[in-house]
Structure 1
Amino acid sequence: MSVRFLAVAALLPLALAFSDTSPVVFWSSHSSSTLDALPSKFSHSHSLLDTILSSSDICGHDAIVLVDQPELHASDLRNLPSNTHLARSLSSSPSSRQFPYVPNHAPIDLTALLTSAATRCDSRLVSFAPGQGISLSGDAKHVVSLSFPPLAGMAEDRKDAMLKYGTFTKHLVSPIIDRPTDALLATELATLTATFPNHLIIYTGSSAPSFAKRAAPITGSIIRNGTDTGGILARYQLLTPGIITTLLVTFFVLVPVLMVGIQALASIQSPLRNEIPKNFNAAEKKNSRLC
Structure 2
Amino acid sequence: MTRLPLLLSLSPLALAFSNTSPLVAWSSHSSSVLDRLPSTVADKHHSLQLLETILLNEDVCEHEAIVLIGQPGLHASDLRNLPSNSHVARSLSSAPSSRQYAYVPLPLPVDASSISAVAEAVSEKCGSRLVNMMLGQEGVAFSKDEKTIIILGMPELELDGDRKGRVMEHDMVLSTTLSSLPFTSHLTIFTGSPASSSLSFSKRQEGSSLVLGSALTDPSVSAAKKGGILHNYQLLTPALITTLLVVLFILLPVMYFGISALASIQNPIRLEAAPKGYNAAERKNQ
Q: What SS does structure 2 have at the residue aligned with 1:205?
A: strand
- Higher relative helix content: 2
**Which residue type is aligned with residue 200 of structure 1?**
L
Structure 1 residue 208, shift from structure 2 partner = 8.8
Q: State whether residues 156 and 195 of structure 2, in contact with CA within 8 Å, keep that contact through their aligned partners in structure 1.
A: no
**Which residue type is aligned with residue 173 of structure 2?**
L
Structure 1 residue 83, shift from structure 2 partner = 0.6
Q: What SS does structure 1 have at the residue aligned with 2:180?
A: helix
Aligned to 1:46: 48
Q: What SS does structure 2 have at the residue aligned with 1:184?
A: helix
The structure-2 alpha-carbon separation of the partners of 1:98 and 1:199, relative to structure 1 and needing over 3 Å to count, comes to same
Matched, 1:81 2:86: no
**Mind listing any 5+ residue stretches in structure 2 that lack a counterpart?**
1-11, 201-286
Q: State whether residues 110 and 208 of structure 1, in contact with CA within 8 Å, keep that contact through their aligned partners in structure 2.
A: no
Matched, 1:98 2:100: yes
Provide the rounded CA distance (Å) in 1 between the counterparts of 2:49 and 2:115. 12
Q: State whether residues 136 and 174 of structure 2, in contact with CA within 8 Å, keep that contact through their aligned partners in structure 1.
A: no
Identity %: 53
Provide the rounded CA distance (Å) in 1 between the counterparts of 2:57 and 2:196. 26
Aligned to 1:199: 186
Q: Deviations over 1:260-287 (max 9, x none)?
A: xxxxxxxxxxxxxxxxxxxxxxxxxxxx
Structure 1 residue 162, shift from structure 2 partner = 1.3
Q: State whether residues 68 and 207 of structure 1, in contact with CA within 8 Å, keep that contact through their aligned partners in structure 2.
A: no
Aligned to 1:70: 72
Provide the rounded CA distance (Å) in 2 between the counterparts of 1:145 and 1:57. 19
- Measured on the aligned residues, the alpha-carbon RMSD in Å equals 2.3
| Residue pairs, 1:219-238, within 5 angstroms | none
Q: Deviations over 1:74-100 (max 9, x none)?
A: 000001110111100000000000011
Aligned length: 182
| Residue pairs, 1:139-150, within 5 angstroms | 139-150=145-156
Aligned to 1:56: 58
**Mind listing any 5+ residue stretches in structure 1 that lack a counterpart?**
1-12, 164-179, 214-291
Provide the rounded CA distance (Å) in 1 between the counterparts of 2:194 and 2:92. 22
**Which residue type is aligned with residue 193 of structure 2?**
S
TM-score normalised over the length of structure 2:
0.59
**Which residue type is aligned with residue 64 of structure 2?**
D
Provide the rounded CA distance (Å) in 2 between the counterparts of 1:87 and 1:127. 24
TM-score normalised over the length of structure 1:
0.58
Structure 1 residue 209, shift from structure 2 partner = 5.9
